[in-house]
Amino acid sequence: MVRKSAEKFGKRRLEIRSALVKDIRGIAALIRRVYTELPPYTLGEIRGQINNFPEGCFVALLDDEVVGYCASMQLPEPVVFADHDWDEISGNGYGSRHDPTGDWLYGYEMCVDPKVRGVRIGRRLYEERRTLAEDRDLTGIVFGGRMPGYARAKRRKTGGADSPQDYLDKVIAGKIHDPVLRFQLANGFEPERILEGYLPEDKQSAANAVLMAWRNPYVERDQPVKKRLPRGVEAVRVATCQLQARAVKSYEEFIAAVEYFIDVASDYESDFIVFPELFTLMLLSFEEKELSPVEAIERLSEYTPRLKTDFSDFAMQYNINIIAGSHPTRMDDGDIHNIAYVCLRDGSVHEQEKIHPTPNERYWWNIKGGDKVEVIQTDCGPIGVQICYDSEFPELSRRLADEGARIIFVPFCTDSRQGYLRVRYCAQARAIENQCYVVMSGNVGNLPNVANMDIQYAQSCILTPCDFPFARDGIAAEASENVETLTISDINLADLSWARAEGTVRNLADRRFDLYRIEWDEEGEHGGRSKPRRAPIGTATAGGG
């Protein structure tokens, strides 16, 4: 459900609507303006908030500039009323704890540009949340509200506050003025209790917050109700190409062999096709002599623009999203990276670099690891790519799952059964622990006179979580080993939503955010490195979670 309302103020236009992925950079800029003393959200965190529950995120735009943002998610009553802090409840800022069976709407972000006055943006965003709660028949709305005057009041010798509860009582009685708490009270929210240590970085509140609640007047419940999630259908067809490494006489022969499988997958109306890692090394087979690693990389890099253009054209021509394996490329700074080019059927081209080069890649090609992992938005929802060895590092796939990925594609290149099984077992583990689909694609055969492609072993497959809606062995489909073939299967993304909310086990929801989390060193997303954001809730103009 996407809401949209607009009002004119002279030549200005104010719009309140659901947040979209295209708003991410505008939201990030707003956060930087509002929270000047705290690390801003990364783009990945905002992307996760929107992908994990798009209906719960709203933006306010004035003259097409983002001037307000709020994020919320559904959670069950025992979770929202238990002791918690902001990191724990928000899934470390990604909104990844959203539970579609939860009967309360929990707000974990609300901010309004302090320069925008007189148009009641905070109130409008609150109304969007209230309408969402009513439309979904939720018990109410909860958030941890700031008390930004408490630290100052605590220092006063007279007329101050002895404790957070004393401060709250005096605000309610009108003895102390707190604009944030007064705003929340005026909007129908009632204080439940103090949350100590809710946000250590919020010095003005001395790390405290007030658990505020609004109860839906259209819902009467004496006991918490767990909503049931219907088993819906959100079908996606995926194809994995197990490609024969072969000597070719020209670039045209290579691309014709690849196009054949794209054409077949398109005839079967597949939404995605994935090719193996390093499948473009076949382009070295028609060189007059075996090239040294340095010469080989330089030669392959010459093909990069042509490959991107051809795969992008194929994606549009055949109406299919293509994960074009991976291709070693020399970068502008001279480093060599192993890159997966993802060409979508809308004509856009995306890149995911391999983060962890194998010892062989470092030795033969001097390949360096990339430094960014993020989901790619497609017409079938957000996806992730993990090139071969990267699938053996669970932190990467967990980052993609937090950002909303439901399918992770794993192009791989392994020379032996042992190497293949390392990738296969880890890919299956990623599917189970992140409750997502994992699609593997590998090379078979051999390629003489091309370094690092002497022999290949693969059994490409489409893997699922292990629970009742899925195949009994967690394998939706798999190829015969070591033969060139195309393997196609329908997968139901709605089964993932059901499993995450009502499955036998709920790996994503049951994480112990109070004990552990993954912290990323972000670079380039907002002008430099930052530590993970522990965001305050509330704003300079409105307040609220």
Give the integer Cα–Cα distance in Å for 407 and 436: 6
pLDDT of residue 523: 52
pLDDT of residue 453: 74
Which DSSP letter does residue 342 get? E
Q: Is 354 a catalytic residue?
A: yes
Q: Is 277 a catalytic residue?
A: yes
Helix (H) or strand (E) holding 128: helix 121-135
pLDDT of residue 314: 98
Model confidence over 477-527: pLDDT tens digits?
A: 999 999 999 999 999 999 999 999 999 999 999 999 989 888 887 654 443
Q: Using 70 as the pLDDT threshold, list the residues of the chain that sit under it.
A: 1-12, 224, 226, 452, 522-545
Q: Is 11 a catalytic residue?
A: no
Active-site choice (45, 77, 277, 353): 277
pLDDT of residue 12: 57
pLDDT of residue 545: 66
Contact partners, residue 165, CB within 8 Å, separation at least 6? 194
* pTM for this predicted structure: 0.91
By C-alpha distance, which of 177, 71, 69, 62 is closest to 117? 62
Active-site choice (70, 241, 380, 388): 388
The number of beta carbons lying within 10 Å of the beta carbon of residue 217 is 9
pLDDT of residue 454: 79
Contact partners, residue 119, CB within 8 Å, separation at least 6? 9, 14, 62
| 318 CA to centre of own chain | 27
Token output for 260 = 């054949």
- Contact indicator for 221, 139 with CB cutoff of 8 Å: yes
pLDDT of residue 539: 36
Contact partners, residue 49, CB within 8 Å, separation at least 6? 19, 57, 71, 93, 94, 95, 109
DSSP annotation string for 376-438? EEEBTEEEEE--GGGGG-HHHHHHHHHTT-SEEEEEE--SSHHHHHHHHHHHHHHHHHHT-EE
Active-site choice (109, 170, 308, 354): 354
Give the integer Cα–Cα distance in Å for 203 and 414: 52
Give the integer Cα–Cα distance in Å for 438 and 463: 5
- Contact indicator for 133, 98 with CB cutoff of 8 Å: no
